[in-house]
Amino acid sequence: MPSGPHTPQAIDLLLMGETPRVWSFVVSLFGDLAQGPGESLSGVVLTRLAAGAGVKPEAMRVALHRLKRDGWLVSARAGRLSHYRLSETGRAQSAAATPRIYATEGVPGGLWHVLVAGDAAGAAVLTDLAAEGAYVQAGPMVLAGPGPAPDTGGVLLAVEGQATALPDWLRDLVCPPDLVAACARLTAALTAAEALLPGETGPLDRAILRGLAVHGWRRLLLRTPALPDAAFPDSWQGPAARAALARLLARLPRPDLAEVEAEAQG
Our finding on whether 170 is near its own copies (CB under 8 A) is yes
| Shortest Cβ 106–its own copies spacing (Å) | 19
Listed in sequence order, the residues at least 6 apart from 25 whose beta carbon sits closer than 8 Å to its beta carbon are 50, 53, 55, 63, 211, 212, 215
Residues 140-169 that bind its own copies (CB under 8 A): 140-142, 144, 148-149, 151-152, 154-169
- With CB under 8 A as the contact rule, the residue among 118, 177, 198, 199 that binds its own copies is 118
Distance CA 57, CA 43 (A): 10
Q: Which is nearer to its own copies, 16 or 116 (CB)?
A: 116
How many residues bind its own copies, per CB under 8 A?
37
Q: Which is nearer to its own copies, 173 or 222 (CB)?
A: 173
Q: Which is nearer to its own copies, 52 or 122 (CB)?
A: 122
Among 45, 78, 27, 11, which Cα is nearest to 258's? 45
Helix 257-265 with 203-221: angle, nearest 10 deg: 120
Q: Is residue 32 within 8 Å of residue 211, measured between CB atoms?
A: yes
Kind plus residue range of the DSSP H or E element containing 76? strand 73-78
Q: Which is nearer to its own copies, 44 or 173 (CB)?
A: 173
Helix (H/G/I), strand (E/B), else coil: 87? coil
- With CB under 8 A as the contact rule, the residue among 112, 135, 217, 236 that binds its own copies is 112
Task: Note the residues at the interface with its own copies (CB under 8 A).
Answer: 111-114, 116-119, 122, 138-142, 144, 148-149, 151-152, 154-170, 173
